[in-house]
């Protein structure tokens, strides 16, 4: 599709992913049975999306490209290994048979939960799921971005094709689109030469998420204090963040908006034209879905 892109859909994607299992209790029981904490349990589930290749310490995989504190995932890996759910082989982390069984049971429980949800009339759910699934299929096979880390996770997450018109199909499509957008975003900012931690600081300043440096640092638990201050100083020296206040300069705003525009181009260009034309309806319908999940 061509601009203007239906960018208003984008914030609804993570909102859906945050809410879709809000009323699901299966994982709470399993966490208690296994004696794990919530982060470790979901670390194991996320590892299941890596497939047979497993996970590595590469940026964008186990390591966040926006973090300056390395190996924050190690305590979760240690707890999961202690529970017999994961193992490390040749620098890659894999699920054990017990871990694969956990992931399978969680997957099946989620599908059962989704079958109880009716956020839209059946014909509208079928339409919405079908449109977004077509968008995902197109973006997943697009030539850009050429480097992808997260898109393959979406294919593993699907674990076969969910029933057409089902909530499970909608879930798989939206999860997939969000993984693709991650790859598009990383491609967009890496092309500018900015470092990931610097981008994280600039983004939060650009969005006006904090009034002062202390408030901004509180939003970045994955950055060490010295690294955070160094990032902020670089951005000020480069003229992207003002020195007299915590705000993006005109140059910083143009720079950060340029990354967003390139992310949108990579993400939306592969969408089929007829899906793109349905953007306003997709936005309205997905908004209703999200509202029903609270």
The helix (H) or strand (E) run that includes residue 31 is helix 26-34
Q: Decide if 276 contacts 268 (C-beta within 8 A).
A: yes
Tens place of pLDDT for every residue, the chain, 294 residues?
A: 999 999 999 999 999 999 999 999 999 999 999 999 999 999 999 999 998 899 999 999 999 999 999 999 999 999 999 999 999 999 999 999 999 999 999 999 999 999 999 999 999 999 999 999 999 999 999 999 999 999 999 999 998 889 999 999 999 999 999 999 999 999 999 999 999 999 999 999 999 999 999 999 999 999 999 999 999 999 999 999 999 999 999 999 999 999 999 999 999 999 999 999 999 999 999 999 999 998
Predicted TM-score (pTM) of the model is: 0.95
pLDDT of residue 160: 80
- CA–CA dist 61, 57 (Å, integer): 6
Q: Count of alpha carbons within 13 Å of 280, Cβ hemisphere only?
A: 2
pLDDT value at residue 291: 98
Question: For residue 58, what are the CA distances in angstroms to 65, 76, 91, 156?
Answer: 9, 17, 10, 19
Taking alpha carbons only, the member of 276, 93, 47, 66 closest to residue 182 is: 66
Strand partners, 193: none
Tokens 């390591």 belong to which residue? 63
Query: Domain spans of the chain?
Result: 7-189+262-292
- The CA distance from 134 to 13, in Å, is 15
């Amino acid at each position: 599709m061509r601009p203007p892109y239906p960018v208003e859909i984008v914030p609804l994607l993570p909102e859906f992913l945050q809410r879709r299992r809000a009323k699901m209790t299966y994982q709470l029981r399993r966490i208690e049975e296994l004696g794990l904490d919530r982060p470790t349990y979901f670390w194991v589930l996320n590892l299941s999306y890596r497939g047979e290749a497993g996970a590595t310490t590469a940026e964008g995989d186990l390591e966040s490209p926006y973090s300056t504190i390395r190996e924050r995932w190690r305590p979760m890996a240690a707890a999961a290994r202690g529970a017999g759910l994961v193992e490390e082989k040749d620098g890659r982390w894999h699920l054990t048979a017990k871990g694969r069984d956990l992931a399978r049971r969680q997957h099946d429980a989620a599908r059962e939960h989704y079958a109880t949800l009716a956020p839209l009339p059946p014909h509208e759910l079928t339409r919405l799921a079908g449109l977004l699934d077509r968008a995902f299929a197109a973006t997943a096979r697009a030539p850009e971005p050429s480097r992808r880390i997260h898109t393959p996770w979406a294919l593993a997450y699907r674990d076969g094709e969910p029933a057409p018109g089902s909530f499970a199909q909608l879930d798989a499509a939206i999860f997939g689109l969000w993984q693709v957008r991650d790859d598009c975003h990383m491609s967009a900012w890496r092309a500018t030469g900015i470092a990931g931690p610097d981008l994280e600081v600039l983004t939060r300043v650009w969005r006006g998420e904090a009034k002062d440096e202390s408030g901004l640092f509180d939003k970045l638990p994955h950055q060490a204090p010295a690294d955070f201050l160094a990032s902020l100083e670089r951005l000020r020296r480069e003229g992207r963040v003002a020195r007299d206040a915590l705000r993006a300069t005109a140059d910083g705003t143009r720079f950060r908006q340029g990354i967003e525009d390139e992310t949108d181009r990579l993400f939306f260009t592969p969408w089929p034209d007829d899906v793109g034309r349905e953007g306003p309806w997709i936005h309205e319908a997905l908004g209703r879905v999200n509202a029903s999940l609270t």
